[in-house]
Amino acid sequence: MTRTNLSIILPTYNESENIKRLIPELKREFQGAEIIVVDDNSPDGTSEIAENLGARVILRRDRKGLGAALRDGYNYASKEMIVSMDADCSLSVKDIYRLLDKLKTNDLVVGSKYSRNSRAEGFASRKQKVLSYLGNRFFIVLFRLPVEDVTLNFRAFNKRTWTRLNLQENSNVFLLEMLIQAKSRNMRIFQIPIVFSKRFYGKSKTNLRKLFPQYLKFLIKISTQRFLFVLSKQFSWKIKT
């Protein structure tokens, strides 16, 4: 199937073996699509392999985080429709069709490993799976989000949606920030169930010890912003009265 108006963003770090499998599969399924690899200077030659396979490569000299990589990729994308996904082969390429189908009537479509008919099999340990699920439920309830997975990098939207967002986070928190902003702007958000499989090659980069303070810092920032907003409203009301 040809998708000439599609950009596919793949953030990478040491994913040389996985992209050898993933990029050719993407090119077979989505002929004419723009494949953009945002690589954090992988020592295993990921960027060189991606370029040889026909992908457009953004080579970054430092590891600045998933959010920073996605933001660079989204800004670089030249096509109208944008899809981002992990490069570890834990997601099915064919599920992109389902993302794009729902994008026809929605602003943002996300994959969910926790919704009905989905399967979450790709975790390194049971502890990681439990903590991921509980963390997701916490943020979903706290921010009243209309999805069941806020942490998966498997999303579709168009250029107009991206220009309406102003995302600042550089870490994985970027994915949560996107949903919060989309909801606050009354965007139509839809989720599809997916199968989250074990990565094809290598080890997961997820580090719960690093993620916890990042999410905590984000919560403090959001809480402070909301408090100041309410305070400014009250102060303004008092001046008027």
- CATH number at 184 reads 3.90.550.10
pTM here? Answer: 0.89
pLDDT of residue 232: 58
Residue 98 covered by a domain: yes
C-beta of residue 57 within 8 angstroms of C-beta of residue 51: yes
Per residue in 126-167, pLDDT (tens digit) is 888 898 999 999 999 999 999 999 999 999 999 999 999 999
Given a cut of 80, is residue 236 above it in pLDDT? no
Q: Which residue has the higher pLDDT, 148 or 212?
A: 148
Assess if residue 224 is contained within a domain: no
Q: Is residue 227 part of a domain?
A: no
> Mind listing the pLDDT tens digit for each residue in 162-205?
999 999 999 999 999 999 999 999 999 999 999 999 888 877 76
Residue 220 lies in a domain: no
Sheet holding 108-112, edge to edge: 56-59, 34-39, 6-12, 81-85, 154-158, 108-112, 189-193
The answer to whether position 86 is within a domain reads yes
Total number of domains constituting the chain: 1
pLDDT, mean over the chain: 90
**Domain region containing 103:** 6-206
Is 85 inside a domain boundary? Answer: yes
